[in-house]
Structure 1
Amino acid sequence: MTEKKKKPRLKRKKENKIDRMVRGKRRLESKRISQ
């Protein structure tokens, strides 16, 4: 959490978008594995 606060906003926005995409992919993968 502290690392994210140190970063400038533009970088954070880009990383948040990437984070969401990665999390979404992980969720889809976990759903496939669980089913």
Structure 2
Amino acid sequence: MEIEHFFTCPYCWQENSMVLDLLIDEQNYTKDYEVCC
């Protein structure tokens, strides 16, 4: 099962989204923001 999660960049306040797979117990993500990073 997958859901779309929305979050805000802590540096430029740009809103982004990412699809998360809820069937995986533990997940780590690193997001490179197009606006400020």
TM-score, scaled relative to structure 1: 0.21
- Larger RCO (CA under 8 A, 6+ residues apart): 2
Larger Rg: 1
Which protein is richer in helix relative to its size?
Answer: 1
Which protein is richer in strand relative to its size?
Answer: 2
